């Protein structure tokens, strides 16, 4: 079983809609969770981090964490064409020397 | 503030040849990472340095890959001999101290094509 799993997509939403991106992880020792955005041909950049159960909001982005279900999600409200990118879920497992493990990413396309 | 510098940006080689990539992290960042990203996949950690010591190299194919970080600053990743499956983007990243915050700063990457 892969450590971090994401639906590779592509996920296509109309402009202004809510995009929902999902991620599951296998190690219950995972302690920290992150969403990176990667535009085509570019490097990943951190957009959200979440460490405890519940929701964390930052502008149009909301990260949700459910440790019991080993599930983390990212909601993007009022999606814009500029949000079109691959979204990478990443986790740090406790005791791993802060090793950041990435999923394979979900490609999001926002259609004008 | 200068970002993570990598070179070369692109490299094309024949299989069984060797190649080296260079990375200079953000000034003051103690931790340096090399990730391999194959097309359509997420980045895979190859090696993680804390200053000039190796923290994790469990996924580094040591029969052909080597990396060093002399003096705890810049780093070199070498592949010798290269295989077709090594075609990927090699991403260097740095962070202040470990990645407890999860915030890694990535360079633009070095794209390797092995023919």
When CB atoms are compared, the residue of B41, B91, B100 closest to A43 is B91
**pLDDT: is B97 or B95 the higher one?**
B95
When CB atoms are compared, the residue of A6, A45, A92 closest to B99 is A92
When CB atoms are compared, the residue of B42, B44, B48 closest to A97 is B48
Mean pLDDT of chain B: 93
Q: Pick from B4, B42, B54, B108 the residue to mutate for testing the A interface (most A CBs within 10 Å).
A: B42
B41 touches chain A (CB under 8 A): yes
Q: How many CB atoms are closer than 10 A to CB B40?
A: 10
Task: Confirm if B64 and B80 have CB atoms less than 8 A apart.
Answer: yes
User: What CA–CA distance (Å, rounded) separates B4 from A27?
Assistant: 31
B55-90 tens-digit pLDDT = 999 999 999 999 999 888 999 999 999 999 999 999
Encoded tokens for A79: 């999606």
B25 touches chain A (CB under 8 A): no
Per-residue three-class SS string for B71-93: HHCCEEEEECCCCHHHCEEEEEE
CA distance B47 to chain A (A): 10
Torsion angle (degrees, nearest 10) of CA A15, A107, B12, B56: 130
Tokens 């995009």, residue located: A19
User: What CA–CA distance (Å, rounded) separates A75 from A72?
Assistant: 10
Please report which confidence band the pLDDT of residue B51 belongs to, taking 50, 70 and 90 as the band edges.
confident
DSSP string, B2-62: ---EEE-SEEEE-TT--EEEEEE--TT--EEEEEEE-TTS--EEEEEEETTEEEE-TTS-T
Interface of B with A in 60-89 (CB under 8 A): none
Successive 10-residue mean pLDDT values, chain A, 112 residues: 83 97 92 94 94 95 96 97 97 81 95 95
């Amino acid at each position: 079983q892969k450590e971090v799993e994401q639906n590779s997509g592509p996920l296509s939403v109309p402009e202004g809609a809510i995009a929902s991106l999902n991620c599951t992880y296998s190690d219950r020792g995972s302690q920290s969770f992150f969403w990176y955005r990667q535009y085509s041909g570019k490097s990943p950049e951190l957009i959200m981090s979440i460490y405890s159960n519940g929701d964390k909001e930052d502008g149009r982005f909301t990260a949700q964490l459910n440790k019991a279900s080993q599930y983390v999600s990212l909601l993007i409200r009022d999606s814009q064409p500029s949000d079109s990118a691959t979204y990478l879920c990443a986790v740090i497992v406790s005791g791993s020397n802060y090793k950041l493990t990435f999923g394979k990413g979900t490609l999001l396309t926002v259609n004008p | 503030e200068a970002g993570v510098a990598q070179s070369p940006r692109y490299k094309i080689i024949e299989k069984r040849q060797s190649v080296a990539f260079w990375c200079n992290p953000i000034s003051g960042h103690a931790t340096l990472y090399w990730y391999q990203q194959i097309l359509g996949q997420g980045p895979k950690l190859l090696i993680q340095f804390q200053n000039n010591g190796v923290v994790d190299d469990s996924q580094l194919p040591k029969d052909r890959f080597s990396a060093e970080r002399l003096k705890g600053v810049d780093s070199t990743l070498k592949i010798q001999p290269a295989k077709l499956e090594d075609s990927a983007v090699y991403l260097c990243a740095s962070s202040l101290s470990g990645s407890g915050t999860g915030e890694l700063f990535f360079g633009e990457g070095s794209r390797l094509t092995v023919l």
